[in-house]
Chains A and B, each alone.
Chain A
Amino acid sequence: MKIYQKVLMIVAALSLGLLFVFPMWKIYLKAPQYPEGLELHIWVNKLGGSSESVLQNFNILNHYIGMEPIHAESFAELKFMPYIVIAFMVTGVLVGLIGRRKLVLGWSAMLMVAGAAGILDFYLWLVKFGTNLDPKAAIKVPGMTYIPPLLGNKQLLNFEALSLPALGSLGIFLAISLSLVVYYFSLKNKTVTRDISSGKVLVR
């Protein structure tokens, strides 16, 4: 692998660091009496939002329909996910240093699997919160469940919920696409060598 490809691979690995700087996913809630909106931010290692007390405010609203309160402590994922991300970053850098394209593809594939697993896990949580309702809830609408959308928007009683990936997810997207780019160009390395041996000048 060429130097620039190795560098690109290292960049791909390091771009996962965005997960520690920005949330992965954001859920926006809008209702007539919340002109300023409520935002729940899901990070790789914590829950946050548009204000410090957003979780409390989410939970106050949710308790009327009998949804279980959301607490960061309930999610084991928030504890081990950061280590997985760091592991990917370290191995990604090593792959870049070693510079073997099969490793690049392998790393990329594993990251895709991990990302898909993360999204699936997220969806299962949404279903759990949206359907596991207290039978003694003050507000009960027959047949109604409150699964927030995984992607896009959905009307939940008076709230319009909108769910979108945030900048942290861009880190995963970058890592996958950059590593695939590296893999793709490193495939061409052989062609280039052949071209040079045949005396042609390659202009990029």
Chain B
Amino acid sequence: METLINKFKKAAPKAALLMAVAAGSALQGCSNTDGRNAGSTAEGVASDAASAVYVAPGKHDELYSFLSGGFNGQVSVYGLPSGRLLKIIPVFTQHGENGYGYSEESKAMLMTSHGFVPWDDLHHPKLSRTDGMTDGRWLFVNGNNTPRVARIDLTTFETVEVMELPNSAGNHCSPYPTNNNEYVIAGTRFSVPLDMKGGTNDVSLDKYEEEFRGSISFIKVDKDKGDMDLDFQILVPGFDYDLANGGKGPSEDWVFFTTYNTEKAGTLKEVGASQNDRDYLAAVNWKLAAKYAAEGKAREMPANYYHNKMDKDTHIAKSTVKKKVRYLLPEECPGMMYLLPAPKSPHGIDVDPSGEYMVVSGKLASAIPVFSFAMMQDAIKNKKFDGEKNGIPVLQYESVLKGEVKEPGLGPLHTEFDGKGNAYTSMFVSSEIVKWKLNDLSVVDRMPVYYSVGHLMIPGGDTKEPHGKYLVAMNKITKDRYLPTGPELAHSAQLIDISGEKMKMLLDFPTVAEPHYAQAIPAEKVAPNSVKFYKLDENKHPHAVKKEADVSVVRESKNRVRVKMTAIRSHMTPDNIEGIQVGDTVYFHVTNLEQDWDVPHGFAVMGANNAETLIMPGATQTLTWVPKKTGVFPFYCTDFCSALHQEMQGYIRVSPKGSDVPISFSTGKKKQNIPGVASAQ
């Protein structure tokens, strides 16, 4: 009897959910007229969709997914299949929520040769790889607007490195790691008139054809630590470089780039860059390029670019300004680079898991060409060339073409693979996902998506062995899909089950800003390494205080005061500070003394012109404050840490400039023991 009750208890939530879904669609059926629901919402939705994506309270998702935030400069982390938002990782954008880009420690992360650039357009996340498979160590992402590549450490989910790229403009074609992260490769979207001194020439815009050049950067990645270093660049013809992907297996020495504007138009590119019927897929042998660079073929030019790194012991970011860069010219490096003609203005280039097929999604083309790596090798060997462009051989289209996927849909953008011989292509214009077979290039299934899908992502779909269970479509337009929120609407992701013959729609969830590409990885490759807190003993921050007895408030110079303070449940030490004067620059170095999981403390002070700072257990963070008025100003902990969180607060007295109020500080009254442990240690 009891087991029967238990069974019922277990089944009840699922049953209730199914009933709710059923009721929902029934309601939808009768309420269409009042405009509250979209017409075609239920098309293709699997009957068991609710239970397929239901992750019960307290249970974990099967996969981590990392969706770029596009114009918010961040990465959003979602659990799959639930679509639950787990975290937002600030990368190129200041984040008031935790002080990233505001705190003294993190400001340097956003430094560039253009000064402090606290925003960027983050398009493509790529997970680090081992043997062509994602390894869950790092996530590389690109900054499109002010060319940068960043690295996120997946033990802390924090941005730990940002590298600016010289000779690049619009770092869209980026970042593409090779199969063992030997290099992360980044191509420029805009070609620019390089002055060969690390900048661009002040030339007439009419000179596009003669003066403009593109670049492809080869960033070396330290095998163990992940540290990046710009090894060399290849200066390429003045096209637009759009997207790239590395080969695998037989093609693993190669990386492929789509190009457009091979017409070299400098204005009204929507027309000017759409004149040639064929643009190019550029194939670069990165191993040979590295060899040429190592063997002295590389020249050197002056440059000026920032490399910002977060120190893991001090949690302080430091910028190094690099003053030179090495470069190769393809015309001097035979065998390194070839051009494959591809239908007009291609967008995505994706290499299948075997490494044999290169799929080019030509957004304006009526068919999807599939190139064969074996045929490409053969064409190179037999010199089946169709002339050359800027000294780079152009291969004959037919000599490298395996075939075309006919009538796939309108506006093909990107393709990923399930590892079972199928490819899936996103169709921006006809707003659908199209499944086709790699062997005979026949279309076998279609799934409408809402609306105008950009990238799609299969977990591991760009690796040697795709996960192959789910597909995430990232849609640019949502219109009537969710409750309206004024003119600005959320973009959406749709989760599709691809485990069977037919695709099944499972889930639809709004996303943050504009995801372009995404990556996903089985949770067990990341979760076990997740850091719970920082060890106080290992905190090497120069202004850390590790016990309450060591806190200090010191006037270092006429206008500068340094406060070294601590936070622990549920008080700050000191919490009474006097002797500050109007116009002082006050540095609050707050050390979180906690050594337990999930006990951050926040610090905010009234009138601060920056943000709060959120301090993880064991870490030290610095907020700068310049009081402009006399009086008493409160400060407090912003992260609800404990039952007495509301009591975790203090006061600073600000006196006029030149006042004789001495610096003094305390917590608790004299001779009264400060409750808690840290004081007694």
The reply to whether B644 and A60 contact each other, CB–CB distance below 8 Å, is no
Q: List 5 A-B contacts (CB under 8 A).
A: A36-B597, A60-B676, A63-B676, A63-B677, A138-B644
The reply to whether B643 and A64 contact each other, CB–CB distance below 8 Å, is yes
Residue of A nearest to B593 (CB): A56
Minimal beta-carbon separation of A29 from chain B (angstroms): 13
Cross-chain contact of B595 among A36, A52, A63, A71 (Cβ < 8 A):
A52
Q: Is A198 engaged at the interface, CB distance under 8 Å to the other chain?
A: no
Question: For the complex, would chain A's binding face be called helix, strand, loop or mixed by DSSP majority?
Answer: loop
Minimal beta-carbon separation of A66 from chain B (angstroms): 8
- The interface bits of chain B over 643-680 (1 if a CB of A lies within 8 angstroms of the residue's CB, else 0) are 11001000000000000000000000000000111101
Residues of chain A within 8 A (CB-CB) of B569 are: 60
Q: Is A121 engaged at the interface, CB distance under 8 Å to the other chain?
A: no
Residues of chain B within 8 A (CB-CB) of A64 are: 570, 643-644
- The interface bits of chain A over 141-163 (1 if a CB of B lies within 8 angstroms of the residue's CB, else 0) are 00000000000000000000000
Given A63-B675, A134-B675, CB of A56 within 8 Å of CB of B680: no
Minimal beta-carbon separation of A71 from chain B (angstroms): 7
Contacts of B581-634 to chain A: CB distance below 8 A = 594-597
Residues of chain B within 8 A (CB-CB) of A57 are: 595-596
Chain A-chain B contacts (Cβ-Cβ < 8 Å), number = 42
Residues of chain B within 8 A (CB-CB) of A69 are: 676-677, 680
A interface with B by C-beta (< 8 Å): 36, 51-53, 55-57, 59-60, 63-64, 66, 69, 71, 134, 136-139
B interface with A by C-beta (< 8 Å): 535, 568-570, 594-597, 643-644, 647, 675-678, 680-681
Minimal beta-carbon separation of A37 from chain B (angstroms): 12
- In the A-B complex, the 6 residue pairs with the smallest Cβ-Cβ separation, listed nearest first, are A53-B595, A59-B677, A63-B675, A69-B677, A63-B676, A57-B596
Residue of A nearest to B596 (CB): A57
Minimal beta-carbon separation of B289 from chain A (angstroms): 48
Other 19 A-B pairs with CB < 8 A, given A52-B535, A56-B678, A138-B647: A36-B597, A51-B595, A52-B595, A53-B595, A56-B595, A56-B596, A56-B677, A56-B681, A57-B596, A59-B676, A60-B594, A60-B677, A63-B675, A63-B676, A66-B675, A69-B676, A134-B675, A138-B643, A138-B675
CA A66 – CA B675 in complex, angstroms? Answer: 8
CA A63 – CA B643 in complex, angstroms? Answer: 12
Minimal beta-carbon separation of B569 from chain A (angstroms): 5
Minimal beta-carbon separation of A36 from chain B (angstroms): 7
Residues of chain B within 8 A (CB-CB) of A55 are: 677
Residues of chain A within 8 A (CB-CB) of B676 are: 59-60, 63, 69
Residues of chain A within 8 A (CB-CB) of B594 are: 60
CA A139 – CA B643 in complex, angstroms? Answer: 10
Residues of chain A within 8 A (CB-CB) of B681 are: 56, 71
The reply to whether A71 and B597 contact each other, CB–CB distance below 8 Å, is no
Residues of chain B within 8 A (CB-CB) of A59 are: 676-677
CA A55 – CA B680 in complex, angstroms? Answer: 12
CA A132 – CA B596 in complex, angstroms? Answer: 26
Given A60-B569, A64-B644, A134-B675, CB of A53 within 8 Å of CB of B596: yes
Residue of A nearest to B58 (CB): A35
CA A66 – CA B644 in complex, angstroms? Answer: 14
Residue of B nearest to A58 (CB): B677
Residues of chain A within 8 A (CB-CB) of B568 are: 60
Residues of chain B within 8 A (CB-CB) of A66 are: 675
Residues of chain B within 8 A (CB-CB) of A36 are: 597
Residues of chain A within 8 A (CB-CB) of B596 are: 53, 56-57, 60
Residues of chain A within 8 A (CB-CB) of B595 are: 51-53, 56-57
Residues of chain A within 8 A (CB-CB) of B597 are: 36
CA A139 – CA B647 in complex, angstroms? Answer: 13
Residues of chain B within 8 A (CB-CB) of A136 are: 675
Minimal beta-carbon separation of A186 from chain B (angstroms): 52
Residue of B nearest to A52 (CB): B595
CA A57 – CA B681 in complex, angstroms? Answer: 13
Residues of chain B within 8 A (CB-CB) of A53 are: 595-596
Residue of A nearest to B568 (CB): A60
CA A122 – CA B571 in complex, angstroms? Answer: 32
CA A57 – CA B535 in complex, angstroms? Answer: 14
Minimal beta-carbon separation of A160 from chain B (angstroms): 18
Minimal beta-carbon separation of B255 from chain A (angstroms): 44
CA A137 – CA B675 in complex, angstroms? Answer: 9
Residue of B nearest to A57 (CB): B596
Residues of chain A within 8 A (CB-CB) of B677 are: 55-56, 59-60, 63, 69
In this complex, the member of B570, B594, B596 whose beta carbon has the largest number of chain A beta carbons within 10 angstroms is B596
CA A52 – CA B681 in complex, angstroms? Answer: 15
CA A88 – CA B643 in complex, angstroms? Answer: 48
Residues of chain B within 8 A (CB-CB) of A52 are: 535, 595
Residues of chain A within 8 A (CB-CB) of B678 are: 56
Minimal beta-carbon separation of B546 from chain A (angstroms): 12
Minimal beta-carbon separation of B190 from chain A (angstroms): 51
Minimal beta-carbon separation of B616 from chain A (angstroms): 14
Minimal beta-carbon separation of A73 from chain B (angstroms): 10
CA A166 – CA B643 in complex, angstroms? Answer: 33
Cross-chain contact of B680 among A71, A134, A138, A139 (Cβ < 8 A):
A71
Residue of B nearest to A60 (CB): B569
CA A102 – CA B594 in complex, angstroms? Answer: 55
Residue of A nearest to B617 (CB): A53
Residue of A nearest to B533 (CB): A53
CA A136 – CA B594 in complex, angstroms? Answer: 23
CA A103 – CA B535 in complex, angstroms? Answer: 51
Residue of A nearest to B598 (CB): A33
Residues of chain A within 8 A (CB-CB) of B535 are: 52
CA A63 – CA B569 in complex, angstroms? Answer: 10
Minimal beta-carbon separation of A55 from chain B (angstroms): 8
Minimal beta-carbon separation of A79 from chain B (angstroms): 19
CA A71 – CA B643 in complex, angstroms? Answer: 24
Residues of chain B within 8 A (CB-CB) of A137 are: 675
CA A64 – CA B677 in complex, angstroms? Answer: 11
CA A137 – CA B535 in complex, angstroms? Answer: 29
CA A69 – CA B679 in complex, angstroms? Answer: 10
In this complex, the member of A52, A53, A138 whose beta carbon has the largest number of chain B beta carbons within 10 angstroms is A53
Minimal beta-carbon separation of A157 from chain B (angstroms): 11
CA A66 – CA B676 in complex, angstroms? Answer: 9
Minimal beta-carbon separation of B454 from chain A (angstroms): 39
CA A136 – CA B644 in complex, angstroms? Answer: 14
Residues of chain B within 8 A (CB-CB) of A138 are: 643-644, 647, 675
In this complex, the member of A36, A52, A69, A134 whose beta carbon has the largest number of chain B beta carbons within 10 angstroms is A69
Minimal beta-carbon separation of A62 from chain B (angstroms): 9
Residues of chain B within 8 A (CB-CB) of A134 are: 675
Residues of chain A within 8 A (CB-CB) of B643 are: 64, 138-139
Residues of chain A within 8 A (CB-CB) of B680 are: 69, 71
Residues of chain B within 8 A (CB-CB) of A51 are: 595
Minimal beta-carbon separation of B456 from chain A (angstroms): 36
